[in-house]
A = this chain, B = another copy of it.
């Protein structure tokens, strides 16, 4: 018996509890490895991308954005949901960067994936490093509000280490980008 077989849980039944615009909630009954049954509550999410856009002089294009669930304005890297389950992730990242900040980039590096909450959500975020930036005009939706600012990547690493960046994907992606760029 391999590791997957020895630890995996098997679905017995699945019930949709909420079908929203962004969140889809299911409550499943599963069989555990010891034969007992248990319940699993799961968020099904379309998936997302995020980008660390770094200028030639080592500054990151950051966003200040209100996040309703935590009732706070926080600093984040540009990010967004996929338009569809099978949208090309790099294309989605290029779109989000352009729409939210106005920047486009001529070099893109895939920095791997990130499950924000694998215990209860299937959301998968792909992280990119974008360099060779050119500034254009941003195209926010009428109902989208965020401020853009440029921050030196070393300052952001300090902010992360000192606990001043709350957002998970932003912490991971900036630490990875800083290490890739030899700035950590």
List the interface of chain A (C-beta within 8 A of B).
Answer: 3-4, 6-9, 17-18, 20-23, 25, 27-28, 30, 32-34, 36, 38-45, 64-74, 76, 110-125, 142-143, 145-147, 160-163, 166-169, 171-172, 175-176, 179-180, 184
Report yes or no: A118 in contact with B74, Cβ–Cβ below 8 A.
Answer: yes
Chain B residues lying within 8 Å of A22, measured Cβ to Cβ, are 41, 120
Report yes or no: B64 in contact with A113, Cβ–Cβ below 8 A.
Answer: no
- How many copies of this chain does one complex carry? 2
Report yes or no: B168 in contact with A179, Cβ–Cβ below 8 A.
Answer: no
Main secondary structure of the interface of A (DSSP, over half): mixed
Kindly state the separation between the CA atoms of A162 and B147 in the bound complex, as whole angstroms.
32
Chain B residues lying within 8 Å of A125, measured Cβ to Cβ, are 168
